[in-house]
A = this chain, B = another copy of it.
Amino acid sequence: MTSSPVVVAVDVGGTEIKAALVRGPEPTVLRQLRRATPKLAGGTETADAVVAEVAGIVGELSAGEEPAAVGVVVPGIVDDERRIGVFSANLGWRDYPFGEALAARLPGPLAFGHDVRAGGLAEARLGAGRGLDDLVVLPIGTGIAGALIIGGRPHSGGGYAGEIGHLVIADGPECACGQRGCLELIASSSAVARRYAERTGRSVTGAADVAAALREGDADAKLVWGDAVDALARAITQLATLFAPQAVVLGGGLAMAGELLTAPLERRLDGLITIQRRPELRRAALGDRAGCLGAALMAIEAVSFLEGR
C-alpha cells in the first residue's frame, strides 16, 4: 500500500457527483461512477445529503476494503485549511463544516478542498500544465473561475483567490456579486449565448451555437464573440501584470471552440501585452475529469504526508 495507495476521489458538482477509485502514485483510475447531486430546499440539508451520498459512494467504490485516504472537493467558496464550505450559490450552503461531517462518516484520512483548485492541480501535474511551475487554469463555463497554481501548488487565499470572473473589465451591466462590468458577464459561455440571443432575438442553446453562427460569418456573432475575446485578453493581461504565469490553460465550454477562441485571443494579446511576461495559451487536457483527478492527487498526497514521505 505504501508505494501505491488506493484512494477514493469525489468531485461534488452543481448537478453531478463524479467519483473514482484510484491507485497512486500515477494516478490510475480503477473504477468510476457518476451520480446526480442531491438538492434539497435548504443549503445545510443539501450539504448533509451530499455528505451522506459521498459516504455511500466511498463504501460502494472501495467495496468493503478501506481506502488509504479519501479526497473530496466541492464548489463555491471553500476554505481548504479549516475544511469549510463557505458559500455555494448553486447548492445553497453557507459555512458548512464539511471536514468534520465527512470525517465522521468516512474511513481513513480525508483530503478536502475546492473543485476548481483541485482541477487546476490536476491540469498542472497531469494535464496541459505539466512541467510548469506558475500557471492559471481558467474553466470558462456558466461562470469563469480560476485556479492560480504557484510553484506547483494551488493558491487558495483563504478560499477567496482566483475569482477571475469577477475582475472588472469594462463598463457593463450589474453583476450578482455587486460590482459592474465583471468579466463573466461578457465572456462566460452563458454570457456569450445570452448576449447573442438579446441582440438577435434568436434563441440559442449555448455558446456553441454562437460559435457555429460565427463560422458562417454572422455579424452579430462576430460582435458578441469579439467582445468576449477582448474581455478575456484584458483579464489575461491583468493576470500577466500581477502574477506573470508561464501559461494560461483555457477550459470549460468556451474553450471547446478551439482555434476560434485562441487565434483571436492571441492577436488581441499582441496589442495588450507590453512589458509583461506573455503567457502561453494552452487548451485544458483533462475535461470534466480534472476535479476528480485533483481530489485523487490530494488524497494520495495526504497518504504520502502521513507516511512521512
Is A201 at the interface (CB under 8 A from chain B)?
Answer: no
B244 touches A161 (CB 8 A): yes
State how many copies of this chain the complex holds.
2
Assembly CA distance A275 to B94 (angstroms): 14
Is A96 at the interface (CB under 8 A from chain B)?
Answer: no
Interface residues on A, range: 35 or more
Is A189 at the interface (CB under 8 A from chain B)?
Answer: no
B275 touches A243 (CB 8 A): no
Is A32 at the interface (CB under 8 A from chain B)?
Answer: no
B161 touches A243 (CB 8 A): yes
B243 touches A166 (CB 8 A): no
Is A1 at the interface (CB under 8 A from chain B)?
Answer: no
Among the stretches A48-56, A60-68, A121-129, A232-240, the one at the interface with B is: A232-240
Is A41 at the interface (CB under 8 A from chain B)?
Answer: no
Assembly CA distance A150 to B153 (angstroms): 11
Q: Which of A162-210 contact B (CB under 8 A)?
A: 162-164, 166-168, 177-179
Assembly CA distance A92 to B94 (angstroms): 53
Instruction: Determine the chain B residues whose CB is within 8 A of the CB of A246 once the complex forms.
Output: 158
Is A241 at the interface (CB under 8 A from chain B)?
Answer: yes
Assembly CA distance A10 to B234 (angstroms): 38
Q: Which of B153, B242, B274 contacts A242 (CB 8 A)?
A: B242
A241 touches B163 (CB 8 A): yes
Q: What are 26 A-B residue pairs whose CB atoms fall within 8 Å in the complex? A: A134-B155, A146-B242, A150-B150, A151-B153, A151-B155, A156-B244, A157-B244, A158-B244, A159-B244, A159-B277, A160-B244, A160-B277, A161-B242, A161-B244, A162-B242, A163-B244, A163-B275, A163-B276, A164-B242, A166-B241, A166-B275, A167-B238, A168-B237, A177-B275, A179-B274, A238-B242
A134-B155, A160-B240, A167-B241 are known; give 8 further A-B pairs, CB within 8 A: A148-B242, A151-B153, A163-B275, A164-B241, A164-B242, A166-B241, A168-B237, A243-B243
